[in-house]
Structure formats: C-alpha cells, structure tokens
C-alpha cells in the first residue's frame, strides 16, 4: 500500500502489474480550457464493448508514442483485457489475458515523459508503471476524470500522458460501469472480461478531436 497524504489510497497489489497509485481528490484543479491536439497517428482499440479511437501526442511524448505503436504493430494488445476498472478514476489495460495471466512484454521499459506537462485530464491516456518512474512497458490507463495529482511534480515523477480519446468515450464510460471483483491477488477486475479484440493504426496523423464535452 502506498500512502499519499490527503488522497484516497488504493492497493497496488496487482502482482507485477503496473498502476497509478491513488484516486485523485475531489479538489483536483479543473481541466485546462483547451488541450493540445494530438499530432501522431490515430489508433483504434476494438473492444468487446465497442471501439475507442485515440490520437497520439507524437511531438510531446515521442518515446511513449513509439513504444505504444510498436506493441500495436506487433499485435501485442490483441486478446488482452482491461483488467483494472475503477469508476471515477481510470480503466487500465494492455498487459493481461482473460484468465488474468500477465503477458510477458517484448521490449524493455521506457523513460517517463511526464515532464511533457500533458495533464491527466478526463479522456487522456497515460502509461502505467511501477513505483520506479522509468518502468512503463505495455500497460496504459484511460482517465475517467481529471486526475491531476498524477501529473508531473505534484506527487513526484508523475504518470506520462501520451494520447487522448478522440471517439468512444461513451465506450470507456460503459467499461467503467461494469461489475468488478477480486481474482486471486488482483482487485477491481471486471466479472466479465472486457476484451481488446484488436488494436490497429487507422490514420496518420490523427484527425482533430471533437470539442471538449463532445467525447
């Protein structure tokens, strides 16, 4: 258990899984009036509950973008699940199979790019990691609310945002509403697996995102 004063703490014991540490407090600062426009490819995550399309921040998060695209191109995410679902916080995926076996990553960890100052606002996608800042590999999470305490400098190294949901935030919210429970040492696991059937690159660069609130 990692404890941060003033925050609702959450268990980190997901085996070797990677995770942001704590739920953002109700007093988190409001989202910026406008977010940067993703200038990298658009990736479609075809899930068992619908398709989520995300635009990547190639310029602001080049290492995280290329790392994610490499796993997409290799088909690593196909057949994985969203294994950690926490309403009003985030949904996390990219590393477990439906039987809750962690996939062995095929590449080493990358440097934390949270200094890019992209904020962990609703609809952004960030790299999950261990307590060591430079330990992210394949896993990622989608913010369900503005989790700005996860930004660089607020609780330390931060969690690096590298993408933004362009289409399918309604799918993300439906995933966030599924029933969850415990599977062995793993908590917040959907009772019925939410499968990532396929991850594919659809456009380079991604189209402009819809206005705030329209996702």
CATH number of 50's domain:
2.40.100.10
Question: What ranges in 117-207 are assigned the alpha helix state H?
Answer: 169-176
Q: Is there a contact between 200 and 44 (Cβ–Cβ < 8 Å)?
A: yes
Please write the tens of the pLDDT for every residue from 6-32. Answer: 333 332 323 344 566 545 444 333 444
> Residue 215 falls within a domain, yes or no?
no
Q: Pick 15 or 148 by higher pLDDT.
A: 148
Least Cα distance to 129 among 154, 155, 109, 104 occurs for 109
Residue 114: φ, ψ to 5°: -65, -15
In a domain, 191, yes or no: yes
At which residue do the structure tokens 């917040």 appear?
188
Judge whether residue 201 has pLDDT over 60.
yes
**Alpha helix (H) ranges present in the chain?**
62-73, 169-176
**Cα separation of 119 and 25, whole Å?**
15
Q: Please count the structural domains in the chain.
A: 1
Let me know if residue 134 belongs to a domain: yes
Please report whether residue 78 resides in a domain.
yes
Residue 27 counted as domain residue: no
Half-sphere exposure of 43 (CA within 13 A, CB side): 25
pLDDT of residue 204: 77
Domain that holds residue 66: 37-203
φ/ψ region of 119 (left if φ > 0, alpha if ψ in -120 to 50, else beta) reads beta
CA distance 45 to 52: 5
pLDDT per position as a tens digit, 84-137: 999 999 999 999 999 999 999 999 999 999 999 999 999 999 999 999 999 999
Joined tokens for residue 113 = 């790019």
């Amino acid at each position: 258990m990692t404890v941060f004063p003033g925050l609702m703490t959450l268990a980190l014991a997901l085996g070797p899984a990677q995770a942001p540490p704590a739920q953002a407090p109700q007093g988190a600062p409001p989202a910026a009036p406008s977010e940067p426009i993703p200038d990298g490819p658009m990736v479609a995550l075809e899930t068992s509950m619908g398709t989520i399309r995300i635009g990547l921040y190639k310029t602001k998060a080049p290492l995280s973008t290329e790392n994610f695209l490499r796993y997409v191109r290799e088909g690593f995410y196909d057949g994985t699940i969203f294994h950690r679902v926490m309403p009003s916080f985030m949904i996390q995926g990219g590393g477990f199979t439906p039987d809750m076996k962690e996939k062995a990553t095929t590449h080493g960890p990358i440097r934390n790019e949270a200094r890019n100052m992209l904020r962990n606002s609703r609809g952004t996608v960030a790299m999950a990691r261990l307590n060591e800042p430079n330990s992210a590999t394949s896993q990622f999470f989608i913010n369900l609310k503005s989790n700005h305490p996860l930004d660089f400098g607020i609780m330390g190294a931060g969690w690096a945002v590298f993408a933004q949901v362009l289409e399918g935030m309604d799918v993300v919210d439906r995933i966030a509403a599924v029933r969850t429970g415990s599977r062995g040492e793993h908590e917040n696991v959907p009772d019925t697996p939410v499968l990532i059937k396929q991850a594919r690159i659809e456009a380079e660069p991604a189209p402009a995102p819809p206005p705030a609130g329209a996702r």
